[in-house]
Amino acid sequence: MTEHLPIFELAQSDPVLDKATFKTQEAALRTALLSAQYQQLAQGRQSLLIVVAGIDGAGKGATINLLNEWMDPRHIRTLAFDEPDAVDRERPPMWRYWNALPPKGKTGIVFGSWYALLVREAARKRPRPERIERLAMAIRRFEAMLAAEGVHLLKLWFHLSRSAQADRLQRLLASERTSWQVTPNDHKVYKKYDRLCLGGSASIGLTDRAHARWHIIPSADDNLRSIQTAERVLEALKSRPARVQPEPAVAPPPRVAVEDRLKVNVVEELDKDEYDTQIALWQGRLARAVRSDAFKQKSLVLAFEGQDAAGKGGAIRRIANALDARQYDIHQIAAPTAEELSRPYLWRFWHRLPRHGRVGIFDRSWYGRVLVERVEQFAAPSAWRRAYEEINDFETQLAANNVIVVKFWLAIDAQEQLTRFQAREHSPFKRFKITPEDWRNRDKWDAYARAANEMFARTDQPDAPWHVIAANDKRHARLAVLKHTVLALEHAI
Amino acid sequence: MTEHLPIFELAQSDPVLDKATFKTQEAALRTALLSAQYQQLAQGRQSLLIVVAGIDGAGKGATINLLNEWMDPRHIRTLAFDEPDAVDRERPPMWRYWNALPPKGKTGIVFGSWYALLVREAARKRPRPERIERLAMAIRRFEAMLAAEGVHLLKLWFHLSRSAQADRLQRLLASERTSWQVTPNDHKVYKKYDRLCLGGSASIGLTDRAHARWHIIPSADDNLRSIQTAERVLEALKSRPARVQPEPAVAPPPRVAVEDRLKVNVVEELDKDEYDTQIALWQGRLARAVRSDAFKQKSLVLAFEGQDAAGKGGAIRRIANALDARQYDIHQIAAPTAEELSRPYLWRFWHRLPRHGRVGIFDRSWYGRVLVERVEQFAAPSAWRRAYEEINDFETQLAANNVIVVKFWLAIDAQEQLTRFQAREHSPFKRFKITPEDWRNRDKWDAYARAANEMFARTDQPDAPWHVIAANDKRHARLAVLKHTVLALEHAI
């Protein structure tokens, strides 16, 4: 199977660095590292994420200590991942990496990164080329997104030759002082040496991009490993990040034929009694579905978008009424906080993903990027244009990992919005819902409509569909939202 | 057993409110609630925490919807707790409540609160009075701390009579539209009505304090329940919080005889070879202990304090060297962020508690409150004075829940500090460790020493001991820290 893997030679010799040279270089490097670190911190424009991978026993653990000693440890976060635990397993695999992303200005050191699965697959007796390519492509897309969002990626592969690895084991085992450093895993690793090199080679060959470069660190000699690691980190801190090389789309090409989906009309009116009955019956179905055993292995994510005053809050309350308070969260998505702004923009939504058996309701959502941020020019055109694919990736990961995703656009027309705005202004307890900003947004009605229609065209995926709901009639809208939610849920469980 | 419980009558009648009165009051209340909510937000001095408890079926769920509809939901957080999950169970029971505390300015609605255990105990066939009193006292201490830290507590008990509860069940079951609202739990609750009232009565009677008042909300009638809930919330938002009534200490009276523990000297010097051997051997013991099966059910928390330049970082690295990167976190504790300042001060430490099988290393700790915050007058005297007991409570909860706590003070003398400061200033890569603030702190040497000695006297607990380490000799200090850590760990597993 190896012919499918890129040919990437890992050296079989182990260079060394003498102590005197080390001492000289150490002093200069530490000084330079600190100053570069403070500069990154002061600028606050990007974070540095150091992916640490390689052969076990090559000194990955020592690298944490090195960087924490040579740099200012207050601005470094070690992000070390083991096998996913029970909490991780209730979310898509990338969830724990997203959650841990350090803010701009800081440095993160990632152990047990998103390469673990790829290395493992490539190190199988019979690696599956399609799976390797799929894993590598997912990584490339993730890293391209990180880079575009101001995360500087530095990827280090710690390498030593098979004989150096054998020597190290023998040396450690020879003394009681050091034998504890050898774990059962080290013996396993030694046996699998060639296959792990193949895994590394695949990781490097398939994911080396200008914006996410791999570097091989020769690791048999502690001095050389320390100096080369520090040099790579220093380079990364001092260089401007490379221009992101875009990754072609995985999803079927987006529907570029943008149609106007906002002109929706209700044919029949619902009288109050009929509405009350219907709402209660569908709420009953919703309550039964979320109490079902099948839902204990699933999560439900509902995203609500729509013009101001379209009735999102009222529709959400009709859903919430059918649920146990311990089973759902309503996330009111407003302007991002400073903490949120200092991470890639999807971070705050990954962060809020519900566990199994729970419902996450988003009152406005990750679509803000291609709606308000586009129209108000908070996001650069390059940023919101790439967001469609990033959002599709996000939702595909949710759908592929037991998260049911349903998206609603509540559509009212301009006249109805005006009526509701005026009613709000005249009600002492609804006045808070209307601000000068709402009136300004209203002036941009057409720009928002264009953005919404392009959004539908580019992000209406089979496993995360958009439902455009006619919402001039509140009863109709609330009932329709409830029905779509129930049907999606019943279909999935 | 009931004679041990306070006598607290819960009404057997169910008052109602007519619709016209409701409508009039609703409009006024909603307007007033919004304006009070915005005022709380603008002032940002305190958060409001609404504890929702009472008989199931009395409308606790409806209360979330009510408050989210009548107030601005963007500034409300619903904190609904079910049985503790696997993650919760790896920390002390209060951990999840601490984690969820809303920031100042915001309102939190707590379901399944810290009263769950107390109600359950009081509702047993044979309640255990000592356990009830212990649970109630822990709650009183927790709530007194919250109140002192700017959390306004409002506790609502939703009550209805046994016959009203029976009527409600019958009414809901009579129609397909509403029968889904009845869960198996509702039937159980009905059978246990009297005992749950007893549980409520105990909760209220034993934990009603001026700074954490209980209010009974008559809940058989939706209109009346809504209005009374809103009135209580409005009152709480508008009133200044009551003065906190201190709760007597649970721990044995603190040792008030403050002795000078900072005068520590090393008798013998360690030569380099002997030191290297010893360090390696003790690191081996540490590595074996944390890999043991017994440690999979425990966590280890290490707190490091000491004068500036006492060598905390070096001692910590000697610990970290023996651990797997995936097994520990080093928390560099600096000045609190805005997010941390808006919560009770122990929040950021609760937040960082390690899971089972993991080590949390705190480079400076929660003792900042009684050290730097005391000496630099960042905390009012009343705040740092009560902190000793709050910290003892915190550590007692850790120790009682499988967390091994070891605390180190690295003690150098003033001359040694001066030597190290000067050495730092002359090293290009250590200069970052020394700031004008360090020199200013040095001028307050005696004040810090007084604070440290009082801290030892008041917080040296058997299950969370202080080790004052002679640190003029770095080798001695590093080895001593390692030994104490290993011995504490080996003793506990």
User: pLDDT value at position B186?
Assistant: 84
Q: Which of A34, A288, A428 sits opposite B432 (nearest CB)?
A: A34
Burial (0-12, 13-18, 19+ Cβ within 10 Å), B31: middle
Q: Do A180 and B283 touch (CB under 8 A)?
A: yes
> Would an 8 Å CB–CB cutoff place A99 in contact with chain B?
no
* Distance, CA of B11 to CA of B491 (rounded, Å): 54
Measured distance CA(A283)–CA(A319) in Å, rounded: 7
Interface with B, mutate which of A180, A342, A362 (most B CBs under 10 A): A180
Q: pLDDT tens digit string along A104-149?
A: 999 999 999 999 999 999 999 999 999 999 999 999 999 999 999 9
Q: Is A157 helix (H, G, I), strand (E, B) or coil?
A: strand
pLDDT tens digits, chain B, 493 residues: what are they? 344 444 456 777 788 899 999 999 999 999 999 999 999 999 999 999 999 999 888 888 888 889 999 999 999 999 999 999 888 999 999 999 999 999 999 999 999 999 999 999 999 999 999 999 999 999 999 999 999 999 999 999 999 888 888 898 899 999 888 898 888 888 887 888 889 888 999 999 999 999 999 999 999 999 999 999 999 999 999 998 888 877 766 555 555 678 888 887 766 778 999 999 999 999 999 999 999 999 999 999 999 999 999 999 999 999 999 999 889 999 999 999 999 999 999 999 999 999 999 999 999 999 999 999 999 999 999 999 999 999 999 999 999 999 999 999 999 999 999 999 999 999 888 888 888 989 999 999 999 999 999 999 999 999 999 999 999 999 999 999 999 999 999 999 9
Q: Is residue A252 scored above 80 in pLDDT?
A: no
A366 Cβ contact partners less than 8 Å away, ≥ 6 residues apart: A303, A345, A346, A349, A391, A394
E strand or H helix that includes residue A198:
helix A193-207
Question: Is residue A79 within 8 Å of A111, Cβ to Cβ?
Answer: yes
Cα distance between residue B314 and residue B320, in whole Å: 10
Contact of A57 with A169, CB cutoff 8 Å: yes
Q: What are B141's two structure tokens?
A: 């201490």
Cα separations (Å) of B256 from B85, B388, B464? 41, 12, 18
| CATH fold group of domain B272-492 | Rossmann fold (3.40.50)
pLDDT band for position A245 (cuts 50, 70, 90): confident
Question: How far does chain B reach from its first CA to its final CA, in angstroms?
Answer: 38
Chain centre distance of CA A214: 21
CA dist B363 and A215 (Å) reads 32
ipTM over 0.85: yes
Which of residues 42 through 81 in chain B touch A, CB cutoff 8 A? 60-61, 64-65, 68-70, 72-74, 78, 80-81
What is the 3 state secondary structure string of chain B? CHHHCCCCCCCCCCCCCCHHHHHHHHHHHHHHHHHHHHHHHHHCCCEEEEEEEECCCCCHHHHHHHHHHHCCHHHEEEEECCCCCCCHHHCCCCHHHHHCCCCCCCEEEEECCCCHHHHHHHCCCCCCHHHHHHHHHHHHHHHHHHHHCCEEEEEEEEECCHHHHHHHHHHHHCCCCCHHHCCHHHHHHHHCHHHHHHHHHHHHHHHCECCEEEEEEECCCHHHHHHHHHHHHHHHHHCCCCCCCCCCCCCCCCCCCCCCCCCCCCCCCCCHHHHHHHHHHHHHHHHHHHHCCHHHHCEEEEEEEECCCCCHHHHHHHHHCCCCHHHEEEEECCCCCHHHHCCCCCHHHHCCCCCCCCEEEEECCHHHHHCHHHHCCCCCHHHHHHHHHHHHHHHHHHHCCCEEEEEEEEECCHHHHHHHHHHHHHCCCCHHHCCHHHHHHHHCHHHHHHHHHHHHHHHCECCECEEEEECCCHHHHHHHHHHHHHHHHHHHC
State chain A's mean pLDDT as an integer: 91
Please give the pLDDT value at position A349.
98
Q: Is A428 in Cβ contact with B82 (below 8 Å)?
A: no
Spatial contact of B403 and B298, defined as CB atoms under 8 Å apart: yes
HSE-up (13 A, CA, CB side) for residue A155: 24
SS3 A161: coil
- Is B176 in Cβ contact with A284 (below 8 Å)? yes
Average pLDDT on A411-433 reads 91
Q: What is the DSSP letter of A75?
A: G
Given a cut of 50, is residue A49 above it in pLDDT?
Answer: yes
Q: In what order do the strands lie in the sheet with A47-54?
A: A76-80, A107-111, A47-54, A151-159, A214-218
Cβ contacts of B339 on chain A, cutoff 8 Å: 339
**Is the pLDDT confidence value at A4 over 50?**
no
The answer to whether B406 and B484 have CB atoms below 8 angstroms apart is yes
Q: Which amino acid is at A481?
A: V
The structure tokens listed for B206 are 């034993």
Give dist(CA A464, CA A467) in Å, integer: 10
The answer to whether A47 and A108 have CB atoms below 8 angstroms apart is yes
Q: How much is the average pLDDT of A195-217?
A: 92
Structure tokens at B179: 């029968």
Report whether A158 contacts A58 (CB < 8 A): yes
Q: Which of A152, A159, A157, A160 is nearest to A214 (CA)?
A: A157
The residues, any chain, with a CB within 8 Å of residue B190's CB and separated by 6 or more, are B165, B166, B169
B367 close to B305: Cβ distance less than 8 angstroms: yes
pLDDT of residue B3: 42
Nearest to A177 among B61, B68, B277 (CB): B277
Quote the pLDDT of residue B191. 83
Do A272-492 and A2-238 fall under one CATH topology?
yes
Write down the domain spans for chain B: 2-238, 272-492
Contact: B87, A87; criterion CB under 8 Å: yes
Contacts of A430 (CB under 8 A, 6+ apart): A423, A424
Identify from B326, B341, B431, B478 which residue to disrupt to test chain A contact, counting A C-beta atoms within 10 A and taking the largest count: B326
pLDDT of residue B267: 65
Cβ neighbours for B375, distance < 8 A, ≥ 6 positions apart: B444, B447, B448, B451
Percent above pLDDT 70 for chain A: 96
Across residues A349-367, what is the average pLDDT? 97
Q: Tell me which residue of B375, B128, B392 sits closest to B255, measured CA to CA.
A: B392
d(CA A146, CA A114): 13
CB contact under 8 A, A68 and B317: yes
Distance (Å, whole) CA B50 – CA B451: 37
Contact B428/A176, CB-based, under 8 Å?
no
pLDDT of residue A379: 95
Tracing tokens 């009548």 back to the chain, one arrives at B70
Residue B107 at interface with chain A, using a CB cutoff of 8 Å = no
Instruction: Return the bridge partners of A404, or none.
Output: A300
Chain A hits for B31, Cβ within 8 Å: 428-429
- Please tell me if residue B330 touches chain A, with a CB cutoff of 8 Å: yes
Task: Average the pLDDT over each of A281-295, A434-448, B55-69, B274-288 and give the range with the smallest value.
Answer: B55-69
Give the type of residue at B181: Q
Nearest to B395 by CA among B306, B301, B313: B301
Write the Ramachandran bin of A480: left for phi over 0, alpha for psi from -120 to 50, otherwise beta. alpha
For residue B174, CA distances in Å to A232, A286, A323, B58, B168 come to 73, 19, 20, 18, 10
The residue-averaged pLDDT of A53-79 equals 91
DSSP for A102-143, please give it. PPTT-EEEEES-TTHHHHHHHTSSS--HHHHHHHHHHHHHHH
CATH number for region A2-238: 3.40.50.300
Q: Hey, is the C-beta of A334 within 8 angstroms of any chain B C-beta?
A: yes
Q: Are B231 and B29 in contact, with CB atoms under 8 Å apart?
A: yes
Mean pLDDT of A262-278: 85
Are B158 and B54 within 8 A, CB to CB? yes
Question: How many whole angstroms separate alpha carbon B459 and alpha carbon B466?
Answer: 8
- Whole-number Å distance between alpha carbons of B222 and A222: 72
Q: What is the DSSP letter of A330?
A: E
Query: Per residue in B138-155, is it b (16+ CB within 10 Å) or e — as a string?
Result: bbbbbbbbbbbbebbbbb
Tell which residue, A215, A214, A213, A216, has the closest CA to residue A242: A213
Residue B1: predicted pLDDT? 37
The gap between the terminal CA atoms of chain A, to the nearest Å, is 38
Chain A residue with Cα closest to B87: A87
Burial of A9 per CB tally in 10 Å (0-12, 13-18, 19+):
exposed
Measured CA to CA, the distance from residue B312 to residue B93 in angstroms comes to 31
The residue length of chain A stands at 493
Check residue B7 and give its pLDDT: 45
pLDDT in tens, A402-411: 999 999 999 9
pLDDT score of A249: 60
Considering all CA atoms of chain A, what is the largest pairwise distance in Å, rounded to the nearest integer?
89
